[in-house]
Structure 1
Amino acid sequence: MFPCDQCRRSFNRPSHLNRHRMTHLPSSRRRVVTCTYCERTFSRQDVLLRHLRATHDVIRDTSVSNQKSCHRCVRHKLRCDREQPCGSCHTAKSTDPCSYPSSAEPGTPSRTLRAPGGSSFSTPSVRRDSERCVRFANHSVVDSRDAFGPCPPAANEGSHIGQQHIDPLDMDAADFSPVFESDGFNTILQPFEVDGWIDFRGSGLDWLDFDVSSIDFDLSGDHSGDADATMASPAADSTNPPAIHSVAAPSTALPRQNVLPWPFEQGQDAQTPRFPLPRLHQILPQPPPGTQPSTVDSLLRLLSCQQIPHLNELTNTNMSPGLELLRRLTDVYFSGFQIVQSIVHAPTWNVADCPTVLLAAMACIGSALSDESDVTELSNSLGDFCGSMITWLGVTDNSSYSDVSYLAALCLHQIYSLGSGNRQLYQNADRTRGVLIGSLRGLGLLSSRISNLQQSATEDAGPTTNDPRELHAEWLAWVACERDRRVAWASFEYDCSLCTLTNRRGAVDLSELPARLPCSDSLWDAQSANAWAALKSRAPSRGQGAMLSGVLGLIISGRPLVEHVSMWGKRLCAQIIGRLLWDLKQLEKLSTPEYCGLPSLFKSHQQSKVSLLRGLDSLLTLMTEPASTSDLISYNISSLLCHYSHMYASDDIMDIIIFIIRNVVSKGPSCDERLDMARQRLTSGFQSDPKRARKLLWHAGQIVAVATEYLVSAPCEIMRLFKAYVFILAYAKYSGYPAEHCNGVKVRLDVPSRHADQEKAVAKYIQHGGQAQIGTAQDVLSRASTANITKDAHVMFQRLHSWGLAEKFAKILQCFENFEE
C-alpha cells in the first residue's frame, strides 16, 4: 500500500497515489482541462470525456487505428501496396471491394443527432462511428428495454418497443437499470411442519411488503387490491419524452441483462457505445407562455437542475416560490431529522452549493416530518420524483455512483421509502440497496478487514498550520473525510433497519465496516475552522473517532471504555450486537428440517446470546445520561433495540405471535388447524415458564416507557414499538389467569426502571407475579385490557402520523385485537 502524506488514504498503485495527490494542490497549481462548450474545468481527460457525453451529447473517439493496408490484405495476411485497388486485390480479381479504414483524425467530436421519427444517427465527421450507430437506428434514445438491455436479443430484433417513449418521472426503477433486479416478494411465508407439529422459527414476516391497504378494521375489506396496476405505453411520435405523469413504465416482466459495470469497475472494461439521455430539466414540460407555474411545479423544475440557479435566473423563470418551499422543507429536515442521522455538515452547508439530488432527498424527509397541511400533501409526489431523479442520474452518468453526495441522497431517500408506507417505494428501496452498498464498497468506505486494519494504523496529529486559509482548507478536507465515514455508517444503520423490517439478511458484512466510529458531535458541529482546530487540539484522538474493534470488545466483556465514544457511536455498537443476535437466530432457523436439516443449534448458541444480551445491557448503562437532544435520541433508539433484542432472542415466543398475526390479518377469522395449534403452544409457553413470560412483558413495557418519554420518529423504531404492543396484547389474550396474580404485587411496567424502588418492585413482580399496569390498562390480564392497550397504541401511532408505516401497523394491531377465538 502507498499512503498519502497529506491525509489518511492509501492506494494500491503509485499512479493512483500521484493522481490523488493532485487533489491536495491549490487550484493555481493544478493541471486542468477546460470544456469548450460550458468552460467547466476538469483535472482528468477521462472525466472531461464523461462530462461531454453526459451533458453535451458529444462523443469523442479517442482510439486511433494504425492499419494502413486494405481489409482483404489484412484478413489474408498479404502484402498491400496501398493503391486503389491494391495489387493483391487486382491480381486475385477478388469480388470483395478493396476498402481501407477511415482516415478521420482521432478526437474529432461527433454529436449524436436524433431524427424526427425517434431514430438516431451520427454526423459525417466521424465515419467510423456510422456502422455502430446503424444497429440503434430504429430504437428510441430513452427506451428502457433497448438502451439498457433488459430484453433478450430475440425480443429486440424487429420489435416496435423501441418506438415507445418513457416518462422519466413516471418510470419504475426496475425497468431502467440492471442493478434494480426485481425479486418476487413473498408476502406470507408458509409454516413448516415436523411430524404434525409446527416449527415457528422460520415464520418471519416482511412487514413492509405485508399489504394491509384494503383491510378494514372489521375485516370486511377486499383483499384483491394487491396487484400492481399496469398501463401500456403508447407509441411515440417525437424524440422528446411526453409530459410528466402521462405515461407509465411497461409492466412486462422480462429478463434483464447487466450492461452497466459495477461502480468501482468504471474504466476497466470497455463499454458498449450507447446514446446519452438528456438532462432531466431538458425534458420537463414548459409552462404555457404568460401563465404562473404552481409552487410544486417550480420546485420540481428547480430540483431538476444540477445546481440551484442564481437568484436573477430564478426571478426570470418564476421559480422563486419553489425556492422558498425548498428552504422550508430543508429547515424541517435539519430540525427534525439531522439529530437522528447527522450525515450533512450543517456549518458548511448551503442551498446554492448542495447538489440538487441531495436537496431532493432532504426535501422528501422534510415533507414527511412537516406539520403544514399543504406540505404533507405533496410528500408522495416529491418522493416519486426523487426516486425517479436518483434513477435518472445513475443511468445517465455512472460517475454518480462514485459521488458521496449522490450516495447520501440515495441513503436518505431509501430511509424515507421505508417509513412512507408506500409499497412501490419500499420495493424500489429494497432493489437499490445493492447500488448503495456496492458503491460504498467501490469507494473503499466499506472494505475488507485487512484494509480496515491498515486505515486504523494511521493517527491524526491534529491541525498542522495556523494560516487561516490553510486551516480552512484542512478543516474542509477533514469534514469531507468524516462525512464519507458517516454516510457509510448511516447506510449500515439503514441496512439494519431494512433487515429488521423485512426479516432478510443485511447486505453489509460486519467485517467490512469502517475501522473507526464517528467522531464526537462537538467536533462535527464546530461552526468554524478556528473552533474546530481549538477543540481538536485539546483532544486529538476525538478527531477520528474511537476504534470499533476495541470498543466492541470492552462492551461485550462488560468493562469500562478507555476512550471517548460518541452517543451515535454507542448506538452503532448496539446495532452491531443486534445484528449478531439476528445472525444467530437465522442460523437456528436454517438448522430446521425444512432447510438444511442440521442438528439443532439453539443450545450451542445460548452462551453466545447471553453474552451479547449482557453486552447490550452494559452498553445501555453507559448511555443513561444524555447531554443533548441528539444524545437522547441515540439513547432511546439503543434502548428500544436492547429490549427488542431480549424479546427477539427468546426461543420462539415472538415467532409464534407473528405467525398468529399474519394468519389473522391475511385470512380473517377463519378456522385453521395450524392457527389453533399456534394459540395452544403460545398459551403453553406462557404458562410453563411464567417468570420468563413476565420478564418479556417487562421488556415490552420498557419499550412503551421509552417511547412515551421521548418518541423517536424513525421507521425501524415504529416497528419495534408495534412489536411491543403486539406482545402485550398476546400476553393479555393467551397467558391465562395464573393463581399468583391476585396475591402478588401491583407494579407499572411502562415507566423507566431507573430508580431502586422501581427496580425492586419489578424484580418482585417477575419472581412472584401480581398485577401489571401498562398505560390505561390498570391490569393487563383483565377482560377490558385489550381494548385499552389498543387505544394507547393508536394514540402513540398518531404521534407518528408523518410516516405511513405507522398507519399500517395500527391497522394490523386493530385486526389482532378484534380477532375473537
Structure 2
Amino acid sequence: MTPTSKEQCDICRLPFGPTTRDQHNRCPFCGKSFLRVDAATRHTRTCRARGDQPLPPIAKRGRRTRACDACFRVKVSCDSKSPCGRCSARGLSCVYGRFCVDPSHRPGVPAVPVVPVVPAEDGSAGSSPAVSPPRESRSMVPFLLNCTDPSANSVNEILANEPEKDVETPTAWEVVPLTDSVLGAFTIDPRLLFAGFLNQNLEPPEYDNTLYDHYWSGAVPASLTLDDEFAARVQLLLSELLHFMDARPQLGSGNDRFLLQTFFASAGCQMFMSSFFRRRHYHSSLIHWPTLNPGKTALPLLLAMLLTGAAYSHWHEAKRDIGFSRRLHVLAEKYIFNKLKMCAATAVGSRSSQETLEILQAAYLVNYLNIGINDAAVRQRVMAKRHPMLVAFLRTLGFMADQQHELSTEADRFVYRESCIRLVTWTFLTDCLFTMFFNNPPAMTLSEVACRLPCSDELWDKENLSVSDIQGVNDGIPPDDFTLKNILSGLLAEDGRTNGTATAYQDLTVRHLHAAIFALQPVIVNCRAMPLPDTVAKALLRALDRWRSLWSSAIDRVPADQRPWLGLVRHAPEIAWLSRRILETGVTGQGADSIYLRRVTTYDLADFHQFIKRYGGTRAS
C-alpha cells in the first residue's frame, strides 16, 4: 500500500519510521520523548545519559533559505521549485535531501532500531529505556559532568529541571485564591510582563502557556498570597534599588530602570517566591517557611529570594537581555553586602537581631546563586571578596558560636537557633565546595563549626512547633554534642568507631553524610598539598570506605518516593567517588599531567571538568 502524505517524508517521498515524526521532541541521549520541543530542549541540556557528548546544534530562528542540493553545493540562487529551474535546464536530478527530517533516509546512515515508547510518570510523552549509552560508557559521576560542563550557561539551569516538591500533603498549606488585583495582571499576555527580555528582533520567547496555571493551581503557603502588605514590601524594595542605582550610575543605564520595574511586577514576584518555595529542597534549607512573612522580611533577603526563585523558574528560558540579567545580579549583590556592612557596624558588641540574621542569609543566597553562573569574573568576585566577607561577618557577629537569642516563645528561640546553625553549616559546606571544584584555599576551619548538626527537615518544615517537638530534637540520634567534627573524627579514626558511638553513626541521615563528605575536602586538599606520610592518604581512603557503608544504610532508610526531594544531597556518592579518584591519582602519580591536580586556584570549571572526564572513571560493563 502506498503511504499517505502524513506517513512519508515530503522531501524524499520515503516512508517515515514509526517514531521519526517525534524525533525533534526526543532526547538524543536517553530517548525520552516530550510533548513540546522546548521541554525536550531543556531536558537535553541536563540529561544524565549525556556524559561528555556535545549538545545538538541549536537551530536558528527565522525562515530558512530553501535551495536544492545541487544549487546549494555550488552556492547559486535556487527558485525552490520541484524541480527547480536550474536543474530542469541542465537535466540534473533535483532533490532537497538536506531538509529531510528522517536520519535513516540520509545516505550512509545506519538504521536506528525502533523501540516502543512507553508513558512516562513525569507527564512527558514517553521514554525509551532501550535507547541509552552503552554500559561501559556510563560515567560514575554524570551529575558532576553536567554541572561542570564549561558550555553550560549556569548550574541553576540544571537545578531548575529538578522535580518540584509535593506541597499538598501538609494541611497547613492552602490553595491561594486569586484576587481581582492578581487576575488583572493576567488579562494580557503574560509574556508582555517580560517585554524587556525579548531579543532585538522582538521575537516572542519560547513560552509555555501552562506555566502560570502550573504555579497557581498547586498549593502554596498562605503567607505567599499576594496581599497589600507583600505588594507594598516589593514596591519599597524596588524604590530602594532605584535610589541605590541612581547613586551608582555604573550599575545600570536608563533603560535598566524600566527593566527593573518589569522584573518586580507584583504577579511575577509571587511566582518567583512560589518557585523558590517549591524547589527549597534543592540545596540549603535556610528559610523557615512556616514563619516566613514576605510583608515583613528584611529587604535584602526578599531580594535574594526573588532572584533565586527567578533562577529556579522558567523565567530564565525567555530570550531576555542577558546583559541586564548580569547587571541585576551585580546590583543585588552590591545592595545586599552594603546593607550587611551597615547592619554589622551597628550590631558589633550587641546581641544579633533577626534582621541581622536575615541579611546574612541574603548574602549567602546571592553568593551561591552567583557562583552557579558560568562567568569567571563573577566567580572570582564571589570567592575572593564576597565569600570571605560573609565568613568574617559570621565570626565578628558571633554566629560561629551557638546562638541563644532571647525571644518570647520557646518555638521562636528554636527557629532562631536552628536558622543560625543552618547558615553556618551551609556556609562552611560551600567553602568546601569552592576548595574541591576550584582549588580555592579554605576560608573556614572545621573547628569553627562547633554547633550541632541541623535538625531533620520534617521538624524544620513543621508549621506549629510544640514544646514536646522542640524537647525531642535531641532525644534521637545524633545527640546535641555530635557535631560535624565528631563525625569526621570517627571516619578517620584508625580503630573505627567505639561502641558508645556506633549506634550514633549507624543512624546518621543522608543529609549528615552529605555534609561529612564535603567536610573531608579540605583534608584531602591538605593531603595533596603537603608532603604527608602515606598513612594519611590510607586513612582518608579508609574513611571513604566507611562513608560508603554508612551511606548505603542511610539511603535504604529513605522511602523511594521521597528520594527525588533530596536535591543535591542525593549526588553525594559522586562526590565520594571523585574524592577517591583524586586521592588515588595523587598517590600513584597517574594524574601528573592534570592541570587540576596542580592545585592552582581557577575561577572556571574547565580544568576540573577535564579531570572528571579523564580520571572520574566509568561503570564497568
Which structure has the higher relative contact order (CA within 8 Å, separation 6+)?
2
Larger Rg: 1
